[in-house]
């Protein structure tokens, strides 16, 4: 019962009541009843408490929830109840009458100001809700259009490369990575995405039991989400084709930390074949260089006997002033191993 009452109050407070409706007027009278009970309680503690004090709050709450009519009804009912119940019946002393007249006038002026401020707030809140609804509609429409574009691109690739299965599979995986990253951004209202979520999505096709992720959760601004996701996709695909993930015993350790405004990520492959330095610059290498260049990206690679070692450092861009950043998730530094179905992608060009 208490929980239902709390849910009802949250709905009433968040959405409000239709102005001048019977429900709004009943709510206003309910506010006056509560204020009266509060005033009675205050009278037991201090009989000289201000007569109209609790009814200011009643007027404010009624106006915020029910509009001008409800606020005016609460103010009027509050003044009548206060004068009837809490003003001593000694109206013959002139100073006392003057004092009460001044109190009533101050109460009336204050209630007018309260109702005006509450109505201004209600109007602003309604405009914000309308704008939010339009923004969400546009956001969903944008997401739908992006998915349609990616589906069209994938269809064009499949049709154009019918006789090149390996290339078609590689391009299809890259397009799927873009689509997955787009879903992350849509869910966050294009504010950004958690680095842990980016890595989980990109590594899940290969089986996350083969990855060890260690680091505090970092919220990446939207501008850098797609470049980071594509780079991680290329590294994982490369590892599955030529590196540690090409062998059953191979593993990949991914650790990261934030140093000031710089994100530093370590990629360490273990248990794979001895890597060979690249003889040409492939797509992955080009992606590393170009996509991270706007973020002052620095990439260092070493080819150890048991696998690739890569250190990546980028500057995290600040969120746009008119777009609030998504709240950072508080999480301790952990080493995560998450089970997932395994699969593999083909890759012809990679950052080796």
For the segment 25-82, what is each residue's pLDDT rounded down to a tens digit? 999 999 999 999 998 888 787 766 677 889 999 999 999 999 999 999 999 999 899 8
Distance of CA 272 to the CA centre of its chain: 39
CB atoms within 10 A of CB 19: 16
Q: With 60 as the cut, is the pLDDT of residue 328 above it?
A: no
pLDDT at 322: 44
pLDDT, average across residues 245-255: 93
In 10 A of CB 330, how many CB atoms? 7
pLDDT tens for residues 208-238?
A: 899 999 998 899 988 888 888 888 888 998 8
More confident residue, 9 or 126: 126
d(CA 200, CA 196): 6
Q: How far apart are CA 127 and CA 143, in angstroms?
A: 24
User: Is the pLDDT confidence value at 171 over 60?
Assistant: yes
Instruction: Share the mean pLDDT of the chain.
Output: 79
Return the domain boundaries, the chain.
2-129, 192-336
Whether pLDDT at 338 is above 90:
no
Burial degree of 163 (CB within 10 A; 0-12, 13-18, 19+) = exposed
Q: Give the model's confidence band at 347: pLDDT under 50 very low, under 70 low, under 90 confident, else very high.
A: very low
What pLDDT score was predicted for residue 321?
Answer: 45
Determine the CATH number of domain 192-336: 3.30.565.10
Distance CA 250, CA 227 (A): 26
According to DSSP, the β-strands at 298-304 and 334-336 are: unpaired
């Amino acid at each position: 019962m208490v929980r239902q009452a709390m849910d009802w109050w949250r709905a009433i407070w968040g959405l409000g009541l239709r102005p001048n409706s019977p429900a709004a007027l009943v709510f206003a009278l309910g506010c006056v009843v509560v204020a009266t009970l509060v005033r009675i309680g205050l009278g037991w503690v201090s009989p000289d408490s201000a007569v109209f004090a609790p009814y200011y709050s009643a007027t404010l709450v009624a106006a915020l929830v029910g509009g001008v009519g409800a606020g005016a009804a609460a103010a009027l009912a509050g003044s009548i109840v206060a004068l009837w119940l809490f003003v001593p019946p000694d109206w013959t002393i002139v100073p006392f009458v003057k004092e009460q007249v001044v109190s009533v006038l101050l109460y009336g002026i204050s209630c007018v100001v309260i109702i005006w401020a509450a109505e201004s707030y209600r109007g602003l809140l309604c405009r914000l809700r309308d704008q939010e609804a339009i923004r969400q509609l546009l956001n969903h429409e944008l997401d739908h259009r992006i998915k349609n574009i990616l589906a069209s691109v994938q269809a064009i690739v499949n049709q154009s490369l019918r006789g090149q299965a390996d290339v078609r599979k590689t391009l299809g995986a890259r397009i799927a990575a873009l689509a997955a990253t787009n879903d992350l951004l849509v869910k966050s209202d294009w504010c950004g995405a958690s680095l842990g979520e980016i890595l989980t999505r990109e590594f899940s096709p290969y089986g996350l039991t083969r990855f060890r992720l260690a680091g505090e959760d970092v919220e990446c601004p939207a501008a850098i989400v797609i470049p980071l996701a594509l780079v991680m996709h290329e590294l994982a695909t490369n590892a599955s084709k030529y590196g540690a993930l090409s062998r059953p015993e191979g593993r990949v350790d991914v650790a990261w930390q934030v140093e000031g405004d710089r994100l530093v990520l370590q990629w360490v492959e273990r248990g794979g074949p001895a890597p060979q330095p690249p003889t040409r610059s492939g797509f992955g290498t080009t992606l590393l260089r170009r996509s991270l260049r706007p973020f002052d990206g620095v990439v260092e690679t070493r080819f150890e006997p048991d696998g690739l070692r890569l250190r990546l450092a980028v500057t995290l861009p600040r969120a746009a002033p008119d777009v609030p950043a998504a709240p950072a998730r508080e999480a301790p530094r952990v080493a995560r191993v998450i089970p997932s179905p395994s699969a593999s992608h083909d890759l012809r060009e990679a950052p080796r």
